Amino acid sequence: MNFDDMMKELRTEYLDSLPAKLRDLEKSLSQEDVDCLREDFHKLKGTGKTYGFPEISELGEVVERLLIQKPHSYAEVIPNAIGILRDIHRERSASRDFDLSEDGRFRSIRSLNL
């Protein structure tokens, strides 16, 4: 297996793991576990770009920063972030790009960081 084939397989495995990550995020949200949410978005920040999904890293970075600076905002932010991740998963699983900058939910989340 060459490098490109290996990366393609890893990207597929990463995408396949996203639904479980989304369930974990929903569980943490229902338990109001802001620390766990922050840690999970920190991990997404680190892994998304590594596997070729820079929009996941960007979302992870913005949400992590927001949860550090304004932890009380989680109830407003996390449902939107989960929805964005679902859309990213759907589009990327269909081999389509996802332009995070054009997503109104992301613009709303980002505006809270200012």
Structural contact between residues 85 and 56, judged by C-beta atoms closer than 8 angstroms: yes
pLDDT tens figures, 11-59: 999 999 999 999 999 999 999 999 999 999 999 999 999 999 999 999 9
Q: Which among 26, 25, 61, 67 is positioned nearest to 44, based on CA atoms?
A: 61
Q: Which residues of 59-90 are buried (b: 16+ CB within 10 A; e: fewer)?
A: bbbbbbbbbeeeeebbeebbebbbebbeebbe
pLDDT tens figures, 66-96: 999 999 999 999 999 999 999 999 999 999 9
Structural contact between residues 41 and 67, judged by C-beta atoms closer than 8 angstroms: yes
Q: Which two tokens stand for residue 63?
A: 């949400």
DSSP secondary structure code for residue 81 in this structure: H
- CATH number of the structural domain spanning residue 40: 1.20.120
Three-state secondary-structure class, residue 8: helix
d(CA 65, CA 31): 20
Domain count, the chain: 1
Q: Domain span at residue 39? A: 3-112
Residue 1, pLDDT score = 83
